[in-house]
Each structure stands twice: as structure tokens, then as C-alpha cells.
Structure 1
Amino acid sequence: MKPTTINDLYSYTFLGNMKTSANSLIFVKANCSEEENTYEQVLYDYRASFEQPRQLTSFKKESNFAYKDPNTIGFISNRSMKKDRCALYEISLDGGEAMEILEIDHPKTQLVGYLVDHTIVFLQEDEEEKTGSDYEVLDETPFYRNGKGITNKKRHHLVLYRNGQWETITEKLTDISMIKIDHDTIYVLKEEVKHKFSYKPGLYAYQPSLKKWTTLVEPNTLMIQDFIPFSKGIYVFASTGAEYGLNQNPDLYIIDEDGCHFLEKWGYSLGNTVGTDMASVPGNLLAIHDDILYFTSTKDDHVELYRYQDGFHKVYAMDGTIHAFGFVENSLYFIGAKEGALQELYCLKGEDALLPCSSFNALDSHVSVPRRIQYKDFEGKEQVGYVLYPIDFDPDKSYPGILDIHGGPKTVYGTVFYHEMQVWTSRGYFVFFCNPHGSDGKDDAFADIRGKYGTIDYEDILLFVDTVLDQILQIDPERLGVTGGSYGGFMTNWIIGHTNKFKAAASQRSISNWISFYNTSDIGPEFTKDQQGTTIEDDLEKLWFHSPLQYAKQAKTPTLFIHSDEDYRCPLSEGLQMLNALLQNDIEARMCMFHQENHELSRSGRPHDRIKRLEEITNWMDKYLKK
């Protein structure tokens, strides 16, 4: 079988944003366009009578849609290509062409959905200032956000259209973070911000017929991860953060006629946090079917579906991921990726009969399926890591190896297809990875490394590496590389300052200095205070102790740095500090800086930049690890 190549990225399909009605489901199919250097996005329809999903739109720039009724959807597009315009189109699922319903003179408009009284709900972003475009005014925190650019005093607003009239229903400085609509009511997480954003916005309901806002959850009360209305109220997954901080797993609350109150402890993650570079379209976490709550949760290295019905009950455990899901005619459908595979649409028949409904990603290249390996963590407890074997593996040969460290840190690596790793196995590398303390997939205590970065997590990782080398003798210990992004970049920076075990490193979108990160990242003050347990005012020495930059003078490993100049999550300055520290000490180092990219470069960056990033890392590893 042919090897997996870097340019195979252009052949893969990404699925997501699935929504359902009584008899159909709609989802977004996206592909990288090499010619346009962007993502082509079209809408697909599926019904039980179809052999394969049916393409609905062909403009290749349409992904924002909502059901108007069970047989009609509306979507936002600009098919006329008019400047500073977009339009609402509607199309019947029974056939026919899309019809333009409403021209909108605001190009940054998103369709939220339709209310029962024919009111259409939109979300509109503030326009850029027409004057003073050569400067910015910053007077709130955060003043920029990763993936959104400068956001100072720029907001999204809820706008209604009914009876030919437009009406804005949120205030100028109100920030909106989540919207759901049901029947005749709009539900919103929002807060009015003048100088500082919080992590605990309030939950509110708005009824257009009454022109009235109702407070459901007071601000600064709960960290709400997701919510969903149903006939008897609203289910809310949230935490107080009192015991485990910002990363605390949520519990289930309910809002009913008695107000908002605790319903039942869950204590595990919500949604899919399994890492991959093959899922660029959003999914969903919750759904209601027959007035029963369904939700996904990451367990160990995979995703499971649960329902709440007088307690929590497991519905199905996928061996990979469940990215988006919903019900059609009492059948459960979901978009997910099986072990060693990419996303497809599936239907669950009975309790465990999983039937494929699409074949977008039939791979014809080499895929190395992860092999599990047992190791003991820093506490001596059994944990599971994973090893990908190189293409055409020969037990009598010696191979280089790459340790890949996930971001988060509260995410996990699983067994689904990961493009960069498959490229490396096809180029003759072992690739290995694990989920050390700090990762998701277990309970709050396992994920809690607040104030411990670079200690127990680092120890876990090196114990895993030593186990891999002890058990797989074909990996040459003198030809090891290490890479990772975000938290994985932090840990790569930490590793090169604490061991010479690795002969090449690629640090991506990293943290190097908690002191500089504190007031430059879009999440800096709150995240640093939460994860390190202190502030720059209270304990500068502790922040410096956990900063890889302090130990850069000990580094001997040739290191490549990958960074983006619009990464406001782990700002460019974090990579530059490590780069300069190594170069000043005559250690071979190089930075590849991507313009107009952000923290999501490896997952949803422009295709040409994703290709170049992977070429840079691969060439760096080849240079130092290949004989």
C-alpha cells in the first residue's frame, strides 16, 4: 500500500455541524482546496431511504444553516458576490433550487434560527471602524482573542427580523457566548462588559412577543459549559470551579419553575476532547429526544454517548470519536471517526450495530493502527500509552522515533486517524504518545496539575518513553525526536531544558514564560492564576520556576519553533524568547513564523500553511534523526 503523504491533506473530507428534523439530517462537508487555499464547504442531506448523503448546495461557501420546518432549511450565503452584502436563502429538501429570501446589508451575519411566529433570529458582528483604521484603541481585557483578532469594544448582537422589520435586542457592550432557540424563546449566555470579561456569564431568556428578558442564572454564579431547553425547563452542564478551578468537570443542573438547582453529579468531561488534525467543522455536545437528554463524554481515549433518565445511562461507546449526533425517526445518527479512520456518518441500530451511511474517507494509503502499551505513572499506577509502527516494519531493523505530546493539557490522544503521525510512520518513524496527568478522559483529580506543570506530568511522560524503549527494541534511543503544540509546546520546551534524551525537537504554539504569558495571552491572567495557583504580583518566583525559559540555558537539543503571528492564545513572543535563548547559547534553532494564522494553524489553518508547517517539522526530524 502506498505511504501517507503530506499532500494527502487535500484528499480528506471533514464533516460536522449536523442538525436534524423529524425525517432528515443536514450536515456540513468541508474539503481543503489547493487551488483556492481555503476550505470548500457545502451542505448535505441524508434520510433513511438514501444509500448515500445527497449534496444540497454547490456554491462551496455555505455552512451556516437552520431548519425552518422539517422540509425546509435556510442558510446564509453571498451567491451574488455583492460587496458588503450577504443574503438569506431557503431551499426545500423535497427538491428545487435555493431561493433568495432576504438581502442583508451586513456581511458578518449568521443565521441562528426560526421561531414559531416566523421571527428569524440572526447574530451580527460589529463592523470595523471606518475611520482611524491605522490604529487601535485598547481599553478592556482581553482586548484580542485567538481566531478573532482585535475584539476591543467589538461585539456580536442578536437581531430579529419579522414583518419586514429589523430589531436589535442586545445592548452595545453585551458579549454573547452561546445561543439556543426553542419554540418562541431565545436563550443566551451573555454579559455586559465595560473593561473585563468573566468566565461566568449569566443565562437569560428572551421572548420577542413580550419584548422581555428573564434572568435564569445570575452572572458570576456558574461556569456553564453547555445547556439545552426541553419541555420542562433547561438542562445545564456547569461547575462552580470551587474545587478544581477552570478545568473542573461539570455536573448536571436543571432550570424549572423553582429556579436553577443542582440535579445530579456527573464529574467527568463533557463532549469530545480527543485530539486530531482531521476535524475542522464544529460538532455538538447535547441533544434532546423524546424529552430525554443525550450527551457525549470523553472516557480514556474515546468518546461515549450517555442519556439522563432517572440517572446517567451509557448508550454507546465509540472506539474513536463521536463528533456530532442527533435523532431522526427514533434512529440515532452521528458523525464520528473509528479507530485508525477519519470521519463518516453512522447510524446506530439497536444497542451496538453501527452502520456506515457515508464513504467520504475511504483511505487507500498506509495507516498504522495504534498499539496500546502499559506503563506505570509517577504514582506507580498502570496507564496506557500508544505506539504507531513504521510502514513495512522489519523487526531486524532499527528505526528513529517521535514522541508527540497533546495540547490542553485537558485533552487526550486516542486511536483515530492523525494525519501528521501517519505521515511520519510512512517515512519510517515509530510515533508514540500518551495521556499523562493533566489529561482529560478520567476524573477531576487526574486532570488536576494546577501548580505542578513540568513536574508530575513530565515524570509521567519520561516514564512512558522509557517503557516504550524497554519494550520496543527496534526504536533507536539515539534517534529520538519530540514535538507538541500549545501545552505540548510548553512540555517540549520544558523537556529540552531538562534532558538530552531527544536529538531533535519541534515546539509549536508554545508557552515558555508564565510571567510574560500572564499579561499578553487572551486568557493570560485567569488561566495563569488558575493553572499555576498564583499571580505575578503574589509569587513571581513560582511562575518563573514553572517557565521553560529559565532552563533554556541547559538545552542542547536542536529545536524548531512553529508559531503564528496572530496567535493570541500563546503569543508569538513565547516562541521568540525560547528561540533567542537557544541561539544565544549557540544551539541550533529555527523558527517558522506563519503570517495571518492563529493558534489553530495545525487544525484549521489555510491549507498551504498546514502543508508548509508539516513539511518544516518533518524535514527537521529527518535532518537530525535519519542516518
Structure 2
Amino acid sequence: MFTFTRIDLEKDRYVTYIAIAHLDSGHVEEVTRGGPDSCPRWRPDGEAVTFVSRRGFGEGERGSSLYMVTLGKSLEPVEIARFPQGITAYEWSPTGERIAVVERVVKDEDVKRIERIPVWFNGEGFVYNRCRHLALLDPWSGETYRLTEGCPDVVSFVWSPDGRRIAFLATDRDRPPRTRLYIANVNGDIEEVELPRPLMGIDLVWSLDGETLAIIARPLDTPRGLAANNRVWLLDLGSWRLECLTPTLDRNVVNTVGSDSRGKHCSRLIAWSAKHGVIFLVSDSGRTKLFNVRLGKEPKALVELDGMSIDEFSTPPSGNYIVFTAMSSTRPNELYAFLGRGEVKQITYMNRWLDRYEITKPRHLTFTASDGATVEGWVLPPPHMEEGSKVPWVLYIHGGPKMMFGEGFMFEFHLLAAKGFAVAYCNPRGSDGYGEEFADIRGRYGERDYQDIIEFLDHVTKNFDFVDPERVGVAGGSYAGFMTNWIITHTDRFRAAVTQRSISYWISKYGTTDIGFYFNADMIGCGEPPWRNPKVYIEKSPLIRANKVRTPTLVIHSMEDYRCWLDQALLFFTALKLNGVDARLVIFPREGHDLSRSGKPKHRVERLREIVTWFEKHLKR
């Protein structure tokens, strides 16, 4: 079962279809006819499907409902429960008697009386008054019973194989981003498990015998800080012994390949099967691969595809097959099945419509940086070039910085290529997929990462004769917005820049955003807040050098971006204008940090139009 999403531009909305694919024949059968639906789940008896939907909720409402469709009968969905503030996750119990949900509970108030941080969170708005409770739902009566008390912040949960217990991770309100582990009995008793190390957990799974838990988490007590990789940990529920299953795997156990063409992810990040043991995704050199590991053995790649990146996966407890989605730099996600012994079968062909267009393949490259490190990159040429001609081009930078470019479909890149631009992009220092040492630029933003990008610029200019060295732009968002700002305050080599959801002043970002108070302290302040180490926060802020900018700059930001708040754009834009720079500020209302990936369709189109227009104005003259 899977979802596929299309855009209804006229109504400015996304339409998602839930469908069932038959692994043997590839036949696709629609379960719903399209709507604001997501996260389908099989009822354990296989005779019905449940899903989350916003049917019946208005544009400004946060609520959602659970619906059920009985297969073989009328496909008209039946609402089984309604949640005024919505749910963030749900799972059927193995017995099919109950559904566990993470329910959002918000105390609305006109005047905000705030006593904890973060005040707000990207994509959610104010969260100081928000709790995420674990609750049990009777799917037949629609009644819910809340398991957690107080105001918890449940991140992820999993049922035990016998359906009697639920293990869940919740953010430590006093020490975010640390998470704590709890085990709840369905009768309401909850026990906290005292872990021997501080972890930032993101998902977990129960062993088939119910005696251990496997947890994906980043250790928070290593010298690498937030540059450390997520690892797989095994917790013995008898002895409470915690053991790392991936100590020698110097790669991140999570998917960090960039793409602007994904739907909503609802699959688990980790699974446990009889055939393959613990299964998880690993980001490696521009691709995400499917790995597995067993106790006492080394982790190994279970499924890796040439020129493709695995995005999500699911498997039954037997592990007889694994279904997954995968994309490439030239195709969005399709559904595949791993049938064992190296056999992979493509199940869906939802993107055949792209065959009508000439989609060019990026040209892969590596170069040796001045300090001896190998840096990976790509150059996407436009589909039509005259022999011997030179085209304008744009150097793109990825966010994170612990993310990576690679085999991820980027519509934005192909749009620019179709408009006659080449697009170049690389994974400089700070990127994921090449080990913790490569990724660790904490306290050194704008140093080795900046050098890698400029040396990549030199390499492309020297080795790709179709790019015009005099007509090159630079663009990026989030960390890449910081880097775009940093670049244009340090060099005039770029004829135009587009900085998006950017960072210009680290001190204000520390206290105005959802993760700034711990992210900035670790990544910029070397573990210290700005009042203890103001010098580094100021030195790493592009705003301080705004008087050096000569590059025409388009500044794009969202009004409700709580990851990099609007003040970052306003500060930088104001400084540019006061220093006589050709600058333009575009603000998108009712959008957050993820505008380029999941914003309202018309806003996404308008954003792309602004970018193309800016580069055509400044690079095609």
C-alpha cells in the first residue's frame, strides 16, 4: 500500500491517492479517490485500511481524523475518530483491538503566557502550550484513553509483539534535544527507562521475541556534538544493557539526500525481521542505502541501487520481501520490492509522464581539495546547447549542513536547466555521507566549507567548457542561505545571488527560533551561548560584513519560518539596501521553512518564478 500525490494548481492544494500495488502483477488499485489523506495502515486482519485525513477541516484548522475503508465493499471511507488538534502518528496493535495515536493537545489563549522553550516550532506555530500525548483508541467505538499525563512531547512509539506494551520516546522538556525512553502497559502504567547515555532518539522497534528494543539515536555525549551520526542501539529489557550495533559504521543512519519532490513520509525508520535482523537506511556518498545488522555482526548493505537513492521502506516480520521507494536525480520516487538474493522488482510507473520531456542527467565529478580531501559534485547541463556555446550557470548549496546532494530528484534544478542554465552542486565539508570528521565544521562555519565551494567553482570553470565563468550565480537555503550570504560578503565572483530562509545574524537566531538555543550553541558557539562567547557568534554572522556586498541579491523568506526566523532576512536585506546593493525581498505569507518542498502550490510556483526571473535578469544580459 502506498500514496501518490499530485498538485491541483487551480484549487491550490495537494491531492493524495491511497492505492494498493500487487507485487506479483504490478496492478495498482485505488483505495481512495484523492483528497487530503495520508499515512495509510493495514488493519492487522488485512481486510481494511485506515488513514489520516483532513476532510471536513478548514484551511486554518489543525485537526485531522482517522478513517477506515473496508476492502471488497464500498470504498466510501468511514470516520472512526476525530482529533481537533490532529495526530502526528498512529499504529494498530498487533491484535487489531486498539490503535495507539500521538495526539496533539493545545491550550489556546489570546494572550501568550510562556514559561518554557521552544516558544514555537517550524510547521506548527506556538508550541509552548502544546503537548503530544500517547493515547489508545477503540476503533469500533471511537473512544480514546490517554496513557500519558502532564505535558509530554512524544516523538515516536512502537507496540510490543504481544500488544500488551508500548515503548515510546519523548523529548526531555528540560534538556532538548535529549529524548527519554518509556514503556507503557495498556492498563496505563508507565515506567521510565534510565538510559546510561544521553541520546537524541528518532525511532525504535521491538525485537520479534519482545525482549529487546532497537533504537535509532544520536549520542549527545561525543566530541562531535550535533555533527555525530545517528547510530543503531540495542537495549536489553532484562538487564537494561545498552549496546551500539553500528560502532564501526561511520555513516548516518537516516536519509539525508536532498529532494524537493517528496510526499509526506509516514513509514518507520527502522524494522526488525526474522530473515534480516534489524533493517535501516544509511546515507552514503550522495545515496541512501538499505542496511541490516545482527547482534555480534557487522552492519552491511542489504539493498543498494546504482544511480538511485532509497527513500522509505517497509517489511513484514518474516522479512520475505521488503518494499521501498527509490528516486534518482532524473526521476521522482517509484515503488520497488526486494525479493531476496539480490532481486529487485519495480512495481509502479507513476512518473511516465516525464518521458514527454528531455531530462538531462547530471555529470558526476570528484576533485581533490587543497587540503587533500576528496569532494564530490555534479553538473547538470541544459537539454539544448549549441556546439561551442557557453551558458550561464548557478552554483547551488545544500542546507543542513549535515545533508547531502546526490541521487535525489530536484525539480528546481531541472527547471533552471530547461530555462537554459547549467546547475552545479557539490557536497563540501559539513555534508553528510562521508563520515563524522568530514561533517564536523562546528565553530568553523565559513572556513573549510567555503573553501571547498570556491574550489568546486574553480574546478567546474576549468573542466566544463560549456559554462561561462563570467555569468555564474549562487543560491541556497537555510544553512545554504547562510553560506550564500557568507559568499557574497567575501567575494564578488558571482554575478547574482538568491538567498533563501537564510541566516545572517547568529545571536538573534539563538533566541528567536525553534532549535537555535541548542543548535547554535553546538554548531557556532562550540558549546557556549552567545553571552559566554559573543565573539564567534558575531564573527560568523554575514550581517557584520554586509557593507562588502556588491552582488545583486534576491532574498526569499517565509513569514512563519520558525527555524530561521524572518528577522534574518529583514536584517540582511535592510543592510544591503542601505549599502546600495541591487536587492529584492520576497516574503511568503502563511509559509514555513519548507516552502520549497511542501508549501502551497501557488506559492511554490511563484517562488520558482522569482528565482528564474532574477537569474535571467542578471545572468543572461
Structure-2-length-normalised TM-score: 0.91
Equivalent pair of 2:554/2:583 in contact (CA under 8 Å) = yes
Name the CA shift for 1:316/1:79 in 2 (closer, same or farther; >3 Å): closer
Name the CA shift for 1:50/1:624 in 2 (closer, same or farther; >3 Å): same
**Equivalent residues in 2 for 1:182-261 (5 A)?**
182=160, 183-191=163-171, 193=173, 196-209=174-187, 211-218=188-195, 221-230=198-207, 231=209, 232-241=211-220, 242-256=222-236, 257-261=238-242
| Structure 1 equivalent of residue 51 of structure 2 | 75
Equivalent pair of 1:401/1:476 in contact (CA under 8 Å) = yes
- Unaligned 5+ runs, structure 2: none
SS in 2 for 1:174: coil
Q: Deviations over 1:296-318 (max 9, x none)?
A: 10100111111112321211212
Out of 234, 239, 244, the position equivalent to 1:263 is: 244
SS in 2 for 1:488: helix
How far apart, in 1, do the equivalents of 2:56 and 2:511 lie?
Answer: 44
Residue 105 of structure 1 deviates from its aligned partner by 6.3
Out of 306, 309, 323, the position equivalent to 1:333 is: 323
Equivalent pair of 1:376/1:464 in contact (CA under 8 Å) = no
How far apart, in 2, do the equivalents of 1:198 and 1:58 lie?
Answer: 41
Residue 596 of structure 1 deviates from its aligned partner by 0.6
Letter in 1 for 2:313: F
Name the CA shift for 1:562/1:101 in 2 (closer, same or farther; >3 Å): closer
SS in 1 for 2:451: helix
For the pair 1:29 / 2:14, whether they are aligned, the reply is no
How far apart, in 2, do the equivalents of 1:465 and 1:478 lie?
Answer: 12
Out of 142, 147, 151, the position equivalent to 2:127 is: 151
Q: Deviations over 1:251-291 (max 9, x none)?
A: 33211211141133133101211101011321542122216
Equivalent pair of 1:160/1:169 in contact (CA under 8 Å) = yes
Q: Deviations over 1:163-216 (max 9, x none)?
A: 8553211123211111222322222112563xx45111211111114x211223
Equivalent pair of 2:327/2:407 in contact (CA under 8 Å) = no
Name the CA shift for 1:48/1:273 in 2 (closer, same or farther; >3 Å): same
Letter in 1 for 2:280: F
Equivalent pair of 2:68/2:80 in contact (CA under 8 Å) = no
Name the CA shift for 1:410/1:373 in 2 (closer, same or farther; >3 Å): same
**Equivalent residues in 2 for 1:224-623 (5 A)?**
224-230=201-207, 231=209, 232-241=211-220, 242-256=222-236, 257-264=238-245, 265=247, 266-282=249-265, 283-290=267-274, 292-309=277-294, 310-318=297-305, 319-327=307-315, 330-362=320-352, 363=354, 364-532=356-524, 533=526, 534-623=528-617
Name the CA shift for 1:119/1:349 in 2 (closer, same or farther; >3 Å): closer
Residue 219 of structure 1 deviates from its aligned partner by 9.1
How far apart, in 2, do the equivalents of 1:271 and 1:140 lie?
Answer: 29
Name the CA shift for 1:373/1:273 in 2 (closer, same or farther; >3 Å): same
Residue 506 of structure 1 deviates from its aligned partner by 0.1
Letter in 1 for 2:347: C
Which shifted more, 230-239 or 512-521?
Answer: 230-239
What RMSD, in angstroms, separates the aligned Cα atoms of the two structures?
2.2
Letter in 2 for 1:287: A
Which shifted more, 613-622 or 514-523?
Answer: 514-523
Name the CA shift for 1:103/1:167 in 2 (closer, same or farther; >3 Å): closer
Equivalent pair of 1:566/1:595 in contact (CA under 8 Å) = yes
For the pair 1:181 / 2:159, whether they are aligned, the reply is yes
Letter in 1 for 2:15: E
Identity %: 29
How far apart, in 2, do the equivalents of 1:569 and 1:605 lie?
Answer: 15
How far apart, in 2, do the equivalents of 1:111 and 1:434 lie?
Answer: 35
Q: Deviations over 1:319-338 (max 9, x none)?
A: 22211112357122211113
Equivalent pair of 1:490/1:512 in contact (CA under 8 Å) = yes
Out of 132, 137, 148, the position equivalent to 1:161 is: 137
How far apart, in 1, do the equivalents of 2:575 and 2:62 lie?
Answer: 46
Equivalent pair of 1:274/1:301 in contact (CA under 8 Å) = yes
| Structure 2 equivalent of residue 126 of structure 1 | 105
Which shifted more, 196-205 or 95-104?
Answer: 95-104
Equivalent pair of 1:401/1:475 in contact (CA under 8 Å) = yes
How far apart, in 2, do the equivalents of 1:537 and 1:87 lie?
Answer: 45
SS in 1 for 2:465: coil
Name the CA shift for 1:103/1:417 in 2 (closer, same or farther; >3 Å): closer
Which shifted more, 164-173 or 269-278?
Answer: 164-173
SS in 1 for 2:315: strand
SS in 1 for 2:581: coil
Name the CA shift for 1:91/1:468 in 2 (closer, same or farther; >3 Å): same
Residue 152 of structure 1 deviates from its aligned partner by 1.2
How far apart, in 2, do the equivalents of 1:507 and 1:99 lie?
Answer: 44
Which shifted more, 546-555 or 197-206?
Answer: 197-206
Name the CA shift for 1:143/1:299 in 2 (closer, same or farther; >3 Å): same
SS in 1 for 2:571: helix
Equivalent pair of 1:75/1:111 in contact (CA under 8 Å) = no
Structure with bigger RCO (C-alpha 8 Å, 6+ apart): 1
How far apart, in 1, do the equivalents of 2:604 and 2:62 lie?
Answer: 29
